[in-house]
Amino acid sequence: MMAGVGGGNDFQWCFSQVKGAIDEDVAEADIISTVEFNYSGELLATGDKGGRVVIFQREQESKNRQVSRGEYNVYSTFQSHEPEFDYLKSLEIEEKINKIRWLPQQNAAHFLLSANDKTIKLWKISERDKRAEGYNLKDEDGRLRDPFRITTLRVPVLMPMDLMVEASPRRIFANAHTYHINSISVNSDYETYLSADDLRINLWHLEITDRSFNIVDIKPANMEELTEVITAAECHPHQCNVFVYSSSKGTIRLCDMRAAALCDRHSKFFEEPEDPSSRSFFSEIISSISDVKFSHSGRYMMTRDYLSVKVWDLNMENRPVETYQVHEYLRSKLCSLYENDCIFDKFECCWNGSDSAIMTGSYNNFFRMFDRNTRRDITLEASRENSKPRAMLKPRKVCTGGKRKKDEISVDSLDFNKKILHTAWHPKENVIAVAATNNLYIFQDKMN
Amino acid sequence: MDVEAKRIMALSISKLYSLRTQRGGLRLHRSLLLSMTMRAARDIYHTAQLLRDAEEEQVVPCAPDAATEEPMEISKDSSQTLTPKEVAMKPQESLEEDKENRCASERHSRKRRDKAALEPDFLPLKKAKMDTDEEKQHLQGEILRTNNGNSCRQVDTLTAFPTNRAIVAC
């Protein structure tokens, strides 16, 4: 996957676009909190801390305009969630969008689920490019006509109009989560979806908003006995009865909804034995899983903890089949990262369409890609300095000790405020979206 | 090692307290991790203290001047020595509904009566807070580049600790 080497799975990533303000002063509300391609990759949605959703649509590629090779432009922007106040608990509920998940497209409209800490909403995004003219009972400006003056009847005709994209909330799934929602996942039956908070997972039907089934509940009778929380959950891509959830202890449980109504007892339990030599004050924190994703094939799953990404074969529970170190040089800095709270950062991870490569973020606006076949990895940077159209990204390297070579950056020079927590890979092509604080970078493979 | 442990312990406590006033309510995951880290640090700190005190008792049995500060610490420590069960329970207290801790009413003292004698040094005391601040300042030079060095947001709100009342999922 090294730049400059062609063939096979080697990618040559080039800058394509960057969205967002250039200002040094970043408004907190503009910080991107989730990124998600839809099933076809035609649409790319982002959610931010201000509760807004911005959807980009890929331009149709035309042979004449070779410059814009399928660029993403703003398609729709809407306010998904507003800040709320829970009067019972005297708590403010943040409007930050934690997750967006698309539904597969079944008609002309697009549907997505967006979730903040407490509420999930189903949004319909539809296009309107025609409007009816020639109503009988009202004027063109909408005023009602005097019925006594109507002497003839006419059939309204549909006239073209400027394209308008409307987003409307079709369902609101509320009041089902006591704790903060960390995941939503659409089931492969396209009828149900699950939502997970720190202690519970609920199963919803997309049409029913006033009730959900609680399928996992790890809340102890005595909260003083709490030792772990749910950190992420996902439905299997093909088996609608299977889902997984990860924990703060670094374990993953696979559950089969056919086994019991309440899936507290797992079908499979994935855990890697801890290396006692690497034990420290912060072992608990860095082993907490921040993201879990099934491969497209459904045979593997990937987990992200603070320092590494692990690929698990669903048929092998006692250890991952692959482990990739994201930024091992931070292991000696954990105390400092604890002080500045960076150790609690929740990085996500994603697969490419063919499951041959995985990607995850790091600090200093670096993001990492791992080729599962060649076992090669690359570090790239999302930066406006490399933002000339189609400019090839240069691999970056962090100097871990000794003499720093040219173009290397030392660990102590890394900017820990510039973190890439959210990345997404186009489901079919080598196009990636990388969220760097309030900016969204889109990169494409040169061969694309 | 115990210096490090004490520092982490104090840091964890200050983070736990700042969590309570954070917008969006208590983050259960983070408070759990903080509690675990604090507990681990506290265990090591107390173990190191006990070992050190045991060594000093053996080595310097009759040195009253040198031990001026030590007895105070020893007595403080022995009063803080918690049974394993209490050690397990203590960090979880911070996760519970904590309105009782806030007010110095007789309801508060009645609830905490059993543990009054075992009040550990990490509960809010002026001295402990000052220590934390001092340690924080000392650490400024050592930590990696951050936004403003203040990882604990001080937000002036009246938000209370969320309760553990079970709210039935619909």
Q: Can you give the pLDDT at residue B23? A: 84
A115 CB contacts (<8 Å, ≥6 apart)? A97, A98, A99, A100, A121, A181, A184, A195
Sheet-wide strand order for A43-48:
A32-37, A43-48, A52-58, A72-79
Q: Can you give the pLDDT at residue B114? A: 42
Of A324-328, A341-345, A355-359, B16-20, the one with minimum mean pLDDT is B16-20
B107 CB contacts (<8 Å, ≥6 apart)? B100
- Cα A315–Cα A317–Cα A320 angle in degrees, nearest 5: 95
Across the interface, do B32 and A92 touch by the CB < 8 Å criterion? no
Residue A410: other Cβ atoms inside 10 A? 12
Q: Can you give the pLDDT at residue A82? A: 97
H or E element at residue B111: helix B106-111
Q: Which residue of A has its CA nearest to B141?
A: A336
**Count of all residues that appear for chain A in the document:** 448
A178 closest CB neighbour out of B95, B157, B167: B167
Q: Which residue of B has its CA nearest to A213?
A: B170
Token pair belonging to A75: 């398609």
Mutation to test the B interface, candidates A28, A84, A305, A340, most B Cβ within 10 Å = A340
- pLDDT tens digits, residue range B33-56? 999 999 989 988 888 888 888 888
Q: How far is CA A422 from each of CA A44, A45, A363, rounded to the nearest angstrom?
A: 13, 12, 12
Q: State chain B's mean pLDDT as an integer.
A: 58
Looking at per-residue pLDDT, the higher value among A21 and B129 belongs to A21
Taking residues A189-209, report their average pLDDT: 97
> With contacts defined as CB-CB under 8 Å, which chain A residues touch B145?
412-417
A146 CB contacts (<8 Å, ≥6 apart)? none
Q: pTM of the predicted model, to two decimals? A: 0.79
Label residue B20 by pLDDT band (50, 70, 90).
confident
Q: Using CB atoms within 10 A of its CB, is residue B56 exposed (0-12), middle (13-18) or buried (19+)?
A: middle
- Cα A259–Cα A260–Cα A266 angle in degrees, nearest 5: 70
The answer to whether residues A202 and A213 touch, using CB atoms and an 8 Å cutoff, is yes
Q: Can you give the pLDDT at residue B94? A: 46
Across the interface, do B11 and A94 touch by the CB < 8 Å criterion? no
The answer to whether residues B25 and A96 touch, using CB atoms and an 8 Å cutoff, is no
> With contacts defined as CB-CB under 8 Å, which chain A residues touch B93?
224
Q: Can you give the pLDDT at residue A326? A: 98
The answer to whether residues A206 and A122 touch, using CB atoms and an 8 Å cutoff, is yes
As a whole number of angstroms, the distance between CA A53 and CA A339 comes to 32
Whether the pLDDT of residue A320 is over 90: the answer is: yes
Which B-chain residues 145-164 have CB contacts (< 8 A) with chain A? 145-147, 149, 151, 157-160, 162-164
Q: Can you give the pLDDT at residue A190? A: 95
Interface contact B97, partner A, CB < 8 A: no
Q: Which residue of A has its CA nearest to B135?
A: A339
Which residue, A43, A30, A152, is CA-closest to A426?
A43
Q: Can you give the pLDDT at residue B154? A: 36
Token pair belonging to A436: 């760097």
Q: What is the ipTM of this complex?
A: 0.88
Looking at per-residue pLDDT, the higher value among A412 and B103 belongs to A412
Q: Can you give the pLDDT at residue A221? A: 96
What is the least distance, in Å, from the CA of B150 to any CA of chain A? 7
**Count of all residues that appear for chain B in the document:** 170
Interface contact A412, partner B, CB < 8 A: yes
Token pair belonging to A331: 């292991």
Taking residues B129-134, report their average pLDDT: 42
Whether the pLDDT of residue B27 is over 80: the answer is: yes
What sign results for the dihedral spanned by CA atoms B116, B121, B124, B127?
A: positive
Which residue, A42, A100, A70, A16, is CA-closest to A428?
A42
Residue that has been written with the tokens 């969320």 in this structure: B162
DSSP letter at A363? B
Across the interface, do B33 and A285 touch by the CB < 8 Å criterion? yes
A132-139 long-range contacts, CB within 8 A, separation 24+: A132/A156, A132/A157, A132/A158, A132/A159, A133/A157, A133/A158, A133/A159
As a whole number of angstroms, the distance between CA A337 and CA A345 comes to 10
B151 CB contacts (<8 Å, ≥6 apart)? A339, A340, A341, B15
Q: Where are the beta strands (DSSP E) in A148-207?
A: 157-173, 183-186, 192-196, 200-205
The answer to whether residues A95 and A52 touch, using CB atoms and an 8 Å cutoff, is no
Q: Three-state DSSP class for B134? A: helix
Taking residues A134-140, report their average pLDDT: 87
Q: Can you give the pLDDT at residue A122? A: 98
Q: Can you give the pLDDT at residue A69? A: 67
Residue B45: other Cβ atoms inside 10 A? 23
**What's CA B38's distance to the chain center, in Å?**
7
As a whole number of angstroms, the distance between CA A253 and CA A303 comes to 12
Interface contact B52, partner A, CB < 8 A: no
Mutation to test the B interface, candidates A247, A338, A410, most B Cβ within 10 Å = A338
As a whole number of angstroms, the distance between CA A72 and CA A18 comes to 10
Residue B91: other Cβ atoms inside 10 A? 23
Q: Can you give the pLDDT at residue B125? A: 44
A91 closest CB neighbour out of B29, B162, B167: B162
